[in-house]
């Protein structure tokens, strides 16, 4: 292969090594951000679950008070009849009937509220556990980043020096072409196999093949623009 192709491929390998370190750093930071966001979401859900449980318990207390009030009224009316103290037996019996109807409704509501309170309490417990888990994951993610960062920074700085040194030994116009390919987020290089570019499967013309085989010049694919050689 042409000398420029070998230099560019060496630069590419150094860029890949540097990129992996950069991606690792970003990945560690992303975990912290994601876990922190999860804590915020869990906190919001926990607050909503707490408010919901408080609201349901308030309704439950109100229903219990209502049940106690109408139970007392019913029992008072019943005693007045049993003891012969009722001034209007029809009115007393009507009050007992009305209180009984209301108590039936309240009892149904109490059962529903009891189930809702139990479900809300379970949700609150799960939300509390989820928040605690997410907080622990934030701590673990931060620790993983803090533990790795010093070594990672040294490795990244060393990789950057090697990569910058490799760039210094390549013609400026070739660096520009190489950087443009890198910006497109696709491999800058492709192999020549069966006289074709492995990047786009287009046949390489005879002149370019001859120049490549003689290492006369750096050959690029006229279809996809990748640098051609035997790299992979």
Residue-wise pLDDT tens for the chain (232 aa)? 788 888 998 999 999 999 999 999 999 999 999 999 999 999 999 999 999 999 999 999 999 999 999 999 999 999 999 998 988 999 999 999 999 999 999 999 999 999 999 999 999 999 999 999 999 999 999 999 999 999 999 999 999 999 999 999 899 999 998 999 888 867 888 899 999 999 999 999 999 999 888 888 889 899 988 888 876 5
Structural domain of 217: 177-229
Q: Are residues 93 and 181 in the same domain?
A: no
Count Cβ atoms within 10 A of the Cβ of residue 147 and give its class: 0-12 exposed, 13-18 middle, 19 or more buried.
exposed
pTM > 0.85: yes or no: no
- One DSSP character per residue, 78-134 reads HHHHHTT--S-HHHHHHHHHHHHHHHHHHHHHHHHHHHHHHHHHHHHHHHHHHHHHH
Is residue 54 one of the residues assigned to a domain?
yes
Q: Are residues 40 and 143 in the same domain?
A: yes
Is residue 5 one of the residues assigned to a domain?
no
Q: Are residues 117 and 219 in the same domain?
A: no
Alpha carbons 71 and 63: distance in angstroms, whole number: 12
Q: Are residues 93 and 191 in the same domain?
A: no
Q: Are residues 88 and 70 in the same domain?
A: yes
Q: Are residues 147 and 46 in the same domain?
A: yes
Alpha carbons 108 and 40: distance in angstroms, whole number: 38
Structural domain total, the chain:
2
E strand or H helix at 182, and its extent?
Answer: helix 172-183
């Amino acid at each position: 292969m042409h000398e420029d192709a070998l230099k560019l491929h060496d630069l590419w390998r150094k860029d890949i090594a540097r990129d992996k370190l950069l991606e690792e750093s970003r990945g560690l930071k992303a975990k912290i951000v994601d876990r922190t966001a999860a804590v915020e979401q869990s906190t919001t859900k926990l607050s909503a679950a707490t408010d919901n449980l408080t609201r349901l318990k308030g309704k439950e207390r109100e229903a219990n008070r209502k049940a106690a009030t109408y139970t007392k009224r019913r029992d008072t009316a019943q005693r007045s009849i049993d003891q012969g103290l009722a001034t209007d037996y029809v009115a007393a019996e009507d009050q007992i009937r009305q209180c009984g109807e209301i108590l039936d409704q309240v009892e149904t509501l109490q059962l529903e509220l009891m189930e809702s309170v139990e479900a809300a309490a379970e949700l609150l417990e799960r939300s509390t556990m989820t928040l605690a888990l997410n907080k622990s994951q934030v701590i673990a993610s931060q620790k993983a980043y803090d533990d790795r960062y010093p070594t990672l920074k040294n490795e990244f700085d060393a990789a950057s020096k090697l990569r910058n040194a490799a760039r210094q030994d390549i013609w400026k116009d070739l660096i520009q072409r190489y950087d443009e390919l890198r910006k497109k987020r696709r491999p800058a290089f492709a192999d020549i196999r069966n006289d074709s570019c492995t990047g786009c499967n287009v046949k390489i013309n005879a002149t370019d093949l001859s120049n490549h085989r003689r290492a006369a010049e750096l050959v690029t694919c006229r279809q996809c623009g990748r640098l051609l050689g035997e790299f992979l």
